[in-house]
Amino acid sequence: MADLASDALQAARAIASGRPAPTTRFRRRRRDRADSAGGYSGAGPDSRDPVTIGAIVGQSIAELGWTAPLSEARLFSQWASLVGAEIAGRCQPVSLRNGELRIAAESTAWATQLRSLAPQLLKRICAELPPGTVTRLQIAGPSTPSWKHGPWSMRGGRGVRDTYG
């Protein structure tokens, strides 16, 4: 028992002075990878700490190039929350190509009103979506059927009145 105590005391003194501990008959504990990489993690953030699912998904979205399609889907699905309920009730987004958002208004009066509100709308949309998603707004009124094509149309005619006889 005395040998055990004296060996432990000698090893503790060697470790405290910074020297390697003398070889003893005790089994040495194997160091695992966490110990050899710098000890225990401690209280602060560390590379070995668990990562949240949100951080993993956010990084994966950027790496896979899904940022643009997801922001476009968000624009179309959350249109009312992006521009407001009143404006969303009077117009709908039609398409988004190369940063140009096409919006169809329910009447020509609303199309005119939305054209005057275009800078504010663009600012609100750009504040909610990633930069560069929407760079320009193209606002159109309701589309009417074209009477310029078909077997009963004629060149130089007066529109609907010339179609039926």
Domain residue limits, the chain: 84-145
Tell me which of 3.40.210, 3.30.70, 1.10.10, 2.60.40 is the CATH number of domain 84-145: 3.30.70
Residue matched to tokens 């949240």? 52
Spell out where the chain has E strands. Answer: 91-97, 100-105, 136-140
| Cα–Cα distance measured from residue 73 to residue 102, given in angstroms and rounded to the nearest whole number | 14
pLDDT in the model for residue 55: 87
| Cα–Cα distance measured from residue 101 to residue 132, given in angstroms and rounded to the nearest whole number | 12
Give the sheet arrangement for strand 136-140, strand by strand.
91-97, 100-105, 136-140
Among 11-15, 83-87, 150-154, top mean pLDDT goes to 83-87
Question: Cβ–Cβ contacts within 10 Å for residue 117, how many?
Answer: 15
For 49-55, what is the mean pLDDT?
86
> In this model, does residue 100 exceed pLDDT 60?
yes
The pLDDT mean for the chain works out to 80
For 32-43, what is the mean pLDDT?
58
| Cα–Cα distance measured from residue 110 to residue 91, given in angstroms and rounded to the nearest whole number | 8
Structural tokens at position 99: 């940063």
**Which of 5-9, 68-72, 91-95, 145-149 is predicted with the least confidence, judged by mean pLDDT?**
145-149
Local confidence band at 49 (pLDDT 50, 70, 90 cut-offs): confident
Q: pLDDT over 70 for what percent of the chain?
A: 73
- Global model pTM greater than 0.85: no
Question: Tens digit of pLDDT for each residue in 110-148?
Answer: 999 999 999 999 999 999 998 889 999 999 988 766 666
Is 82 exposed, middle or buried (CB count within 10 Å of its CB: 0-12, 13-18, 19+)?
Answer: buried
